[in-house]
Copies of this chain bind each other. A is one copy, B any other.
């Protein structure tokens, strides 16, 4: 045969691929998240990875635009989805008559952004999104439902203590307008959004650069630090009287908070925090971030909020909504690098079946029987020495091995070996179900 030149097998920086044990763990996360999403009645959605650029880029900022994977094919100008929100807007505008509103959907899938790869930034990454969309209107109880759902997800994932920092954009927005700086509102919000990263001094400096007077800047910064427990913050806000929009924001925040209490969400899971504004300009009401109390996890792991009109690029109808997105790949990768994902099993199976010698008939019968009983069974059928077979099971992280030999066949039983304790016993196949 002619000698082939080999291609170096590799994937690109910024792309993720897991080894089996970690992949199993990641998939269990997805299952858990799906389970919680579905317990709230959300339906799955699965939109194409490739869409027309005209559709995906209908309403996109210049910064994001640079990151899009975009290419031509025949006469089509195509792009890979860069988030799961634009496809949702397009889907709802397209399928409106066939949907029941409020439309509660989740989508767990990959998005693509051709960023310069760096720690914590990925070019292909999983997001787990939930949104509730109304047709024309949508009650504030849905904001609380999104928050309660996020709480339920992180309780289920069980990766550390966490808190949702919640605010309402109308509050800070209203205040800024009340103070007479409506024209620079977007810039001010963008600066405040950076406070945690750059620190208060830098924020002050940037605000002064916008030609906001010193006194007002101090007032703003003091306001962001409003102290007290949630009830106290709401009470303080209620008597401030900073204009109509401000008061509306406070009333909305109070109402959402009230529903959270009704839903039995624990007090420790929610912290009203006026610093939260979120970068995206489409948020118009409640906004939140989720912080996990773990030094290896930086920044918000799940953020979202309320928007007035999701599909305005595609439809004359108005679809107000509220949603949240978990940055799954980033979160998992942080835990993985910190050594906090401890997964040893390299098989989906709970049991491995091997034969003492090269006998196969009774062994295969046992394997099939166990699988029909609903057990997850991996069969080690390669011809090798018995000790090698045990090594194989051990390397896969299997804790219980079913051994089949002549004696077992004669007695129509199997030997069960606990790989942790080393204990073994002979049992009838039918009795295995009650053991494992």
Contacts and interface: CB of A to CB of B under 8 A. Distances in A.
A346 B100 contact: yes
Contacts of A360: 141, 259, 262
Interface stretch (A12-20, A172-180, A244-252): A12-20
Contacts of A375: 39
Given A139-B382, A263-B368, A382-B139, A48 B114 contact: no
Given A45-B23, A378-B41, A12 B51 contact: yes
Contacts of A368: 148, 263-264
A326 to B, nearest CB: 17
A110 interface: yes
Contact of A16 (B48, B311, B314, B364): B48
Contacts of A364: 141, 259, 262-264
A379 interface: yes
A69 B374 CA distance: 41
Given A7-B54, A124-B49, A368-B264, A378 B104 contact: yes
A348 B6 CA distance: 48
A238 B55 CA distance: 61
A79 B179 CA distance: 53
Given A44-B27, A378-B41, A19 B98 contact: yes
A317 to B, nearest CB: 11
Contacts of A334: none
B73 A348 contact: no
A294 interface: no
A395 B97 CA distance: 12
B20 A50 contact: no
A7 B396 contact: no
Interface string A119-131: 0000110000000
A40 B104 contact: no
Contacts of A48: 11-12, 15-17, 124
Interface in A226-282: 259, 262-264
A378 B43 CA distance: 10
Interface string A24-56: 101100000000011111111111111110110
Contacts of A340: none
Contacts of A4: 312-313
Q: How many identical chains are in the complex?
A: 2
A223 B387 CA distance: 46
A112 B49 contact: yes
Interface residues on A, range: 35 or more
Given A38-B376, A46-B17, A262-B360, A7 B124 contact: no
A51 B94 CA distance: 32
Contacts of A104: 347, 378
A99 interface: yes
A365 to B, nearest CB: 7
Contacts of A392: 100
Interface in A137-184: 137-139, 141-142, 145, 148, 152
A100 B395 contact: yes
A12 B50 contact: yes
A312 B7 CA distance: 9
Nearest to A46: B23
B110 A58 contact: no
Contact of A383 (B91, B124, B139): B139
7 contacts: A7-B54, A12-B78, A39-B348, A49-B49, A141-B360, A142-B381, A145-B381
Given A40-B377, A100-B346, 18 more contacts: A6-B315, A10-B94, A12-B48, A16-B48, A38-B349, A38-B376, A39-B348, A49-B80, A49-B112, A69-B71, A71-B72, A139-B381, A139-B382, A141-B364, A152-B371, A262-B364, A263-B364, A264-B365
